[in-house]
Amino acid sequence: MTRSAPAPPAAPAELAGPAGPAATSRAVIDLDALAHNARVLADVAGVPWMAVVKADAYGHGLGPVALTCLRAGATWLGVAQLAEALHLRGLLDAAGVARPLPGRGPDPGHPRLLCWLAPVLSPERAAVPGSPLRAALEADLDLSVSTTGQLAAVAAAGAAGRAARPGAPPARIHLKVDTGMSRAGAVASELPALADAARGAQEAGDVEVVGLWSHLSRADEPASGSTEEHLSRFRAAEQVVREAGLSPRVRHLAATGGLLWHPAARLDLVRAGIGLYGLSPDPGVATADELGLRPVMRLEAPLTQVKRVPAGQAVSYGGTWTAPTGRWLGLVPLGYADGLPRAASSAGPVAVNGVRTSVVGRVCMDQVVIDLGPDDGGGAPAAAGDLAVLWGDPTAAGADPATPTAQDWAQACGTIGYEIVTRLGARVPRVARGGGLDGSGDAGPVRGAPSAPVAAVEGGAEHQEGR
């Protein structure tokens, strides 16, 4: 589906002040890879798609990622918390991205923003000028509602906003149903009351029910039967909502795993999250490479010191690793304060000068030690200032082929790729590179999954996202 619409403006060269020469590490964000992944997922989905950019775009830097996704064809942007939704609206306004047009569906030039976690407020507090929900509606956000209490608060904010601004539109809400995840959403026994209350609030002009949605708990297990159960419950919930007199026009259920492996769950809209960033929802089903996805983040830091230690020398806190021979060690200025898991102790892979090595000893708050190899009398294999790459894309042009991936780190730490990239801390500058095109003009088919042009953001430019 293609529709003529104004393209959102290019990302500015800088969204905030640069990290400056004092920074000792950085995460390089490849916007070309991001645009490639967006096209891959959009081709699979075959329906409009939302770019999920919560948690600072999964740690990748909110502004450049959101703008690149819009230029890649996203018509919706999704975040979890209201504070980040308001921040995102501010970034889009500053970049010149137009607000949604009344009476028209979203397009990449006029995207809609969905937020699904808001502060708990009474209707009285929600109606007060300057309340978080009043701010949400003034920012033209769509809000998720799971309970009658949430609905009452949003409706009160909507009514107060209309009283203060005659002609203001009602609050746009997406009713969320619990289809089996037992997280947010109305369960079957609560849904009729929620639907009836939503119809009443809509008839009063305080809200507009535009969406019905849920989330899949086991989409990364295609053979489990769980997604089919979720979909059945969703269909039943849709019937309840329609019998209450509501007609939500945007139904969405599938995130990355659902859009890849469950065609029936794609409905009217899909929510592309982890796949945008070049990670598979489950490498056991299909790896990122098998899906045609490219890693977007490269985490790197120059070595700050190289030293020789003798055989038997303990390394880092607790002496959990001891040099088996005379060894060369390198010091990398990244630690658990930057988001490296302590589980990476004596495990996290690192590439230096074309060689794959690993962290040795415990991960410290601000630094880790890596093994550069045995002292064979030939001198140090690396020097202070040489680049250590913790994760990235080993196949990217000019990349060190020894580069580990974020998934390699996840495997080494006994966790998932989501955690590795999203926990990266705020003191690591994000430097966004690329123009949103990979140069081919064609993402190619998705391997392992059934099967709009992207304009350049600023080719070759770097974008610094303030944090």
Residue with tokens 């699979």: 44
- The residue type found at 6 is P
Distances in Å between the alpha carbon of 220 and those of 196, 225, 284? 34, 11, 9
Catalytic one among 58, 317, 336, 418?
317
Distances in Å between the alpha carbon of 329 and those of 175, 299, 311, 339, 362? 55, 20, 12, 22, 14
Annotate 90-123 with three-state secondary structure: HHHHHHCCCCCCCCCCCECCECEEEEEECCCCCH
**CA-based nearest residue to 387, from 432, 355, 339, 422:** 355
Residue 336 annotated among the catalytic residues of the structure: no
Residue with tokens 């430097």: 431
Residue 176 annotated among the catalytic residues of the structure: no
Cβ–Cβ contacts within 10 Å for residue 263, how many? 14
Measured torsion, CA atoms of residues 282, 42, 172, 68, in degrees rounded to the nearest 10: 100
State how far the Cα of 267 lies from the Cα of 248, in Å rounded to an integer. 12
**CA-based nearest residue to 38, from 462, 452, 465, 467:** 452
Residue 157 exposed, middle or buried by CB count within 10 Å (0-12, 13-18, 19+): buried
Which residues make Cβ contacts (< 8 Å) with residue 12, sequence separation at least 6?
95, 463
Angle between helices 62-71 and 82-95 (to 10 degrees): 60
Query: Largest Cα–Cα distance of the chain, in whole Å?
Result: 83
State how far the Cα of 49 lies from the Cα of 47, in Å rounded to an integer. 6
Catalytic one among 54, 58, 277, 336?
54
Is there a contact between 89 and 77 (Cβ–Cβ < 8 Å)?
A: no
Residue with tokens 């489990």: 224
Backbone angles phi, psi at 139, to 5 degrees: -90, 5
**CA-based nearest residue to 215, from 362, 80, 409, 356:** 80
CA atoms within 13 A on the CB side of 53: 32
Q: Classify each residue of 24-50 as buried b or exposed e, where b means 16 or more C-beta atoms within 10 Å of its C-beta.
A: bbbbbbbbbbbbbbbbbbbbbbeebbb
Task: List the catalytic residues.
Answer: 54, 317
